[in-house]
Amino acid sequence: MGARDDAAEEAEGPPHRVELTRGFFIARTPVTWAQYERFCQDSGRDLPGRAFETVADVRAAADDPLVLAGPDHPVFNVTWEDAQAYCWWAGLRLPTEAEWELAARGDDGRPYPWGTAPPDPTRLNAREHPEWGGRSTSPVGALPAGASPFGALDLAGNVWEWVEDAWERYRRQARTDPLVKGETASLRVARGGSWNTPAAHCRTTTRRPMPRSGRITNLGFRVALSPP
């Protein structure tokens, strides 16, 4: 393994027990461009870097993920604050990191949302995918064979996903309903891998620190809801 792999594996450990005592709902797919555009129209915000003034601009950027992303693709180029603003507008919230991981792996410790089988193009859009890999996002829910035990899709690959937590290294101690608050923390957690992440690295335990102000073409989010 290379140094980058070693660093990723270190971020995923050490193993520790987590107990969630409160139920929650999590979106089946990430938030799409169409959904985010409605939010922008209603709130007067600009779309995140998706406007082109002329046809020539579009043709010049023909290989840009922004051009290749349709309204049913996951939104990206959104900061952690953008994701929070969308959630506030929609009456929802970001999932905590522990909730995201439970939705992805269930209670049997599976390495990928679909189970233990090796990744393949029917299950996720990662770097090796023959159509989208290394180029762009794919329509949300386009690969139903990659569903998690709870029926959630795109938890591996497509876009990294913001969660609520601030970045913190794991500890060995057991935790109950964990949430790393850190309201002003500069680093937040992203989960799941993306269209330019090697498929083998899009595990249910994969996590990465991201600057909360980061706008990149492989980072989006999905929403969650606490029951009444």
The pLDDT value given to residue 1: 28
Q: Shortest CA distance to 118 belongs to which of 156, 82, 159, 61? A: 156
Would you list the domain boundaries of the chain?
A: 24-225
Cα 96 to its chain centre, rounded Å, is: 12
The pLDDT value given to residue 190: 97
Q: Is 24-225 assigned to CATH 3.90.1580.10?
A: yes
The pLDDT value given to residue 58: 43
SS3 for 134-190, per residue?
CCCCCCCCCCHHHCCCCCCCCCCCCCEEEEEEECCCCCCCCEECCCCCCCCCCEEEE
> Do 81 and 212 meet the contact criterion of CB atoms below 8 Å apart?
yes
Per-residue pLDDT of the chain (228 residues; tens, 9 = 90+): 233 454 455 577 567 677 878 999 999 999 999 999 999 999 999 888 754 444 444 444 545 777 778 899 999 999 999 999 999 999 999 999 999 999 999 989 899 999 999 999 999 999 999 999 999 999 999 999 999 999 999 999 999 999 999 999 877 777 877 688 988 899 999 999 999 999 999 999 999 999 999 999 999 999 999 998
Q: State how far the Cα of 56 lies from the Cα of 168, in Å rounded to an integer.
A: 45
Q: Which residue has the tokens 């249910």?
A: 204
What is the phi/psi pair of residue 195, to 5°? -65, -15
pTM over 0.75: yes
Give the other-Cβ count within 10 Å of 187's Cβ: 17
